[in-house]
């Protein structure tokens, strides 16, 4: 088990304004966003925890990682020729939850949400670079519980089981409905691959703000997805 908790994180007010589509707003909003960014800069501690585990038994729709059996035909196919994987949880950090609202303006709340997203992205990028450097990995892909119907969010509890007391390790709690707190957290399994894989390629949901790749009908057919 490895914890990454010294992750560099810089916040630029202009970046926050740009991502919030607030470029060119009045000085009051700019000042408030600047104060928010400074408050976050003082306390933000994005984190990640991961483990290195080897694969066990496989069936047509299951794969055993460590001592935990995951049920997903797509995950099983993706790990067909893989020997070891890297389950992880990354988070913006619970510290950002402590920031007091600078104003009651919903725009400021939205900007805080963007800052948390930026912190999570910093944790994910740091984790990716760390794994590739430490384990001499080439191309990698990942899957996340709940990103596809084939691997539902209920499987998130199994991933947390692999990593032990995640709340104690990096401050992320799993609710009874399998959601993570802080909300700007992500769990998944990183695995080496020869061909890039994105869950979005198998998802027909249109206008998804989290989409990273277009739906690929040919790939969906190869995975046996017909609807």
Round to whole Å and give the CA distance between 168 and 60: 35
Q: What is the pLDDT of residues 45-67, one digit of tens each?
A: 999 999 999 999 999 999 999 99
Q: Locate the domains of the chain by residue range.
A: 2-196
- pLDDT on residue 38: 92
- Say if residues 163 and 98 touch (Cβ distance below 8 Å): no
Q: Identify the architecture of domain 2-196 in CATH.
A: 3-Layer(aba) Sandwich (3.40)
Strand-pairing partners, residue 63, are: 58, 70
Q: What is the pLDDT of residue 123?
A: 97
Provide the pLDDT for residue 138. 87
Q: What are phi and psi of 70, to 5 degrees?
A: -100, 140
pLDDT (tens place) for every residue of the chain, 227 residues total: 899 999 999 998 899 999 888 877 778 888 888 999 999 999 999 999 999 999 999 999 999 999 999 999 989 988 988 899 999 999 999 999 888 766 677 888 899 999 999 999 999 999 999 999 999 998 899 999 998 888 999 999 999 999 999 999 999 999 999 999 999 999 999 999 876 666 666 666 666 656 566 666 666 666 666 66
First-to-last C-alpha distance (Å) of the chain: 39
| pLDDT at residue 205, as a whole number | 67
What does the pLDDT read at residue 219? 63
The pair phi, psi for residue 8, each rounded to 5°, is -60, 135
Pairing of strands 62-65, 53-58: antiparallel
d(CA 204, CA 100): 39
pLDDT at 196: 65
pLDDT at 224: 67
pLDDT at 193: 84
The pLDDT value given to residue 135:
94
Dump pLDDT digits (tens) for 132-151: 999 999 889 999 999 888 89
Is the pTM above the cut of 0.75? yes
């Amino acid at each position: 088990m490895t914890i990454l908790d010294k992750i560099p994180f810089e916040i630029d007010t202009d970046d926050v304004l740009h991502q919030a589509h607030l470029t060119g707003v009045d000085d009051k909003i700019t000042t408030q966003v600047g104060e928010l960014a400074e408050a976050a800069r003082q306390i933000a501690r994005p984190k990640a925890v991961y483990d290195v585990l080897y694969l066990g038994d496989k069936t047509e729709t299951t794969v055993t990682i460590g001592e935990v059996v995951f049920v997903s035909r797509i995950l099983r196919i993706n790990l067909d020729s893989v020997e070891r994987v890297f389950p992880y949880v990354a988070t913006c950090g619970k510290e950002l939850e402590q920031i007091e609202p600078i104003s009651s303006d919903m725009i400021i709340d939205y900007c805080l949400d963007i800052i948390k997203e930026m912190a999570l992205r910093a944790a994910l990028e740091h984790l990716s670079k760390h794994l590739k450097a430490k384990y001499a990995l080439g191309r990698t892909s990942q899957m996340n519980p709940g990103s596809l119907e084939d691997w539902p969010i209920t499987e998130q509890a199994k991933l947390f089981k692999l990593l032990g007391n995640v709340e104690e390790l990096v401050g992320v709690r799993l609710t009874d409905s399998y959601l993570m707190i802080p909300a700007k957290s992500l769990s998944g399994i990183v695995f080496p691959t020869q061909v890039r894989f994105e869950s979005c390629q198998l998802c027909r949901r249109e206008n998804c703000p989290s989409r990273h790749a277009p739906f690929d009908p040919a790939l969906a057919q190869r995975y046996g997805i017909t609807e």
